[in-house]
């Protein structure tokens, strides 16, 4: 996986390639110059040639240095409707299994797990889904119980 430093380096190199292509430099010369400046982190010669072709063909105002969004499966299927259904199912039955919830809602077990743990902030304790953080009401109730026990 590329780090943010790698992505920044890539954007810098694409900017240099665009500039030199606008000046009329050939792809081989651009590759040699980027290789001397960036060393091992430089873009390959095939990528330089492809970028030069793209930059010379397109309108400079429309040239995008970052990668364009690609079509395909979305990163997350967990929308608000799914989140609400999962939350209602967990409130109705704290012992609900991820597979049961996934079958009922119509999403994968992994998505259910992400919704339950990350979005809703629950975790599994003794085969029950329990909130990770106490609400203000729960804290007040515990405080009252503790003071009652101390008074005894």
**CATH classification (class only), 80-140:** mainly alpha
Which is more confidently placed, 75 or 70?
70
47 closest CA partner among 35, 62, 60: 35
What pLDDT digit, counting tens, does each position of 86-134 carry? 888 888 888 888 899 999 988 888 888 888 888 888 877 666 777 777 7
Segments of the chain assigned to CATH 1.10.10: 80-140
Cβ neighbours of residue 116 closer than 8 Å, sequence gap 6 or more = 86, 90, 98, 101, 122, 129
User: Which two tokens mark 2?
Assistant: 């590329």
């Amino acid at each position: 996986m590329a780090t943010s430093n790698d992505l920044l380096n890539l954007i810098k190199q694409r900017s240099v390639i665009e500039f030199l292509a606008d000046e009329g430099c050939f792809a081989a010369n651009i590759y040699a110059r980027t290789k001397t400046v960036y060393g091992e982190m430089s873009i390959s010669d095939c990528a330089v040639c492809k970028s030069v072709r793209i930059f010379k063909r397109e309108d400079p105002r429309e040239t995008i240095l970052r990668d364009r969004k690609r079509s395909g499966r979305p990163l997350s299927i967990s929308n608000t409707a799914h989140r609400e259904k999962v939350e209602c199912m967990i409130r109705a039955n704290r012992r609900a299994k991820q597979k049961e919830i996934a079958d009922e809602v119509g999403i994968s077990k992994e998505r259910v797990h992400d919704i339950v743990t990350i979005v809703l902030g629950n975790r599994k304790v003794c085969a029950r889904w329990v909130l990770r953080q106490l609400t203000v009401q729960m804290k007040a109730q515990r405080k009252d119980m503790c003071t009652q026990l101390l008074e005894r």
